[in-house]
A = this chain, B = another copy of it.
């Protein structure tokens, strides 16, 4: 039961209080796929330019990720550059060169079409909708979005998430989408827009999962040093969906597996925390499933009473 991941693959330039990297592998689909690959087979859909390095393709392939849907076209790969504030709670975008990503039109290889789990990274909502509609037999589908689409593509976004089983956004986006400052009220309004399952990410403060008349909240993992938060939210998404796919999660099952959903939120949190420990995707070059499971147990230790 593979997980199909659609989104950006990019090169990033990042500056944090701990250092600076001019160009390194990045992009939502990259982070999501690497993170989810620790749980379940991933099939990626993305576009890169002819400058995309073999070693970066290899990193994905070596994690067992199916790269049949990683399209290579003439031109340059999407490039983003940003700089974080001293406390790393804010970041400033310095460069956004969409390059080949400007014309991204996700093409699903035939071998992907019958998969049951779909995670749509933050791209134009119309493209997300087109992908979703191609995967007729999908069991659990949804994704991410961002402030830009919420503000300027609202109708298209609403038409897109109407068909989603889950939406995974941050607290600021939840407030913006719902028009409610209070997250409980925001969650109720957003679930009325379509998704039965809503995950709200709160950065260092953790994450919340909402379903009808039920919710689960986990605090953030307490890292002593946050090296680079880039990609942490996408790694959360990858851990969350990777675990659900691994468990064969079925939202239509008569006994909704609340335990499985809450554990998926913990695995998401675990993966987001590892992501911050080094620049870019570096942590995933050495990370093992045993480390992931050990941190999962740490979450139990510091939250149970």
Find out whether the CB atom of B219 lies under 8 angstroms from the CB atom of A206. Answer: yes
B302 touching A303 by the CB < 8 A rule? no
A141 to B145, CA, bound (A): 49
Stretch in contact with the other chain, from A70-78, A117-125, A182-190: A182-190
- Asked whether A162 is an interface residue with its Cβ less than 8 Å from the other chain, the reply is no
A111 contact set on B, CB distance < 8 A: none
A183 touches B222 (CB 8 A): yes
**B217 & A219 in contact (Cβ 8 Å cutoff):** yes
Q: Does A300 contact B (CB under 8 A)?
A: yes
Which chain B residue lies CB-closest to A185?
B224
A202, CB-defined interface residue at 8 Å: yes
Interface size, chain A (Cβ < 8 Å): 32
CB of B182 within 8 A of CB of A215, answer: no
A205 within 8 Å of B (CB atoms): yes
Q: Contacts A184-B224, A225-B182 known; A216 to B305 CB distance under 8 Å?
A: yes
Judge whether A266 is part of the interface by a CB distance below 8 angstroms: yes
Tell me how many chains of this kind the complex includes: 2
A199: shortest Cβ distance to chain B, in Å? 14
Pick the most buried of A185, A225, A305: most chain B CB atoms within 10 A of its CB. A305
Nearest Cβ distance between residue A182 and chain B, in whole angstroms?
A: 6
Alpha-carbon separation in the docked complex, A216 to B222 (Å) = 10
- Given contacts A206-B219, A219-B218, is CB(A259)–CB(B305) below 8 Å? yes
Decide yes or no whether A87 CB sits under 8 A from chain B. Answer: yes
Contact A305–B224 (Cβ < 8 Å): no
Which A169-194 residues have a C-beta within 8 angstroms of B? 181-185
Residues of the B chain whose Cβ atoms lie less than 8 Å from the Cβ of A185: 224
* Interface presence of A63 (CB below 8 A): no
1/0 per residue, CB under 8 A from B, across A86-102: the answer is 11000000000000000
A147 on the B face (CB < 8 A): no
A202, A208, A218, A222 pick with most chain B CB within 10 angstroms:
A222
Chain B residues with CB below 8 A from A266, complex form? 305
27 A-B interface contacts by CB (under 8 A)? A87-B181, A182-B224, A182-B225, A183-B222, A184-B223, A184-B224, A185-B224, A202-B205, A205-B205, A205-B206, A205-B219, A206-B219, A208-B222, A215-B222, A217-B219, A217-B222, A217-B302, A217-B303, A219-B219, A259-B305, A262-B305, A263-B305, A265-B305, A299-B305, A303-B303, A303-B304, A304-B304
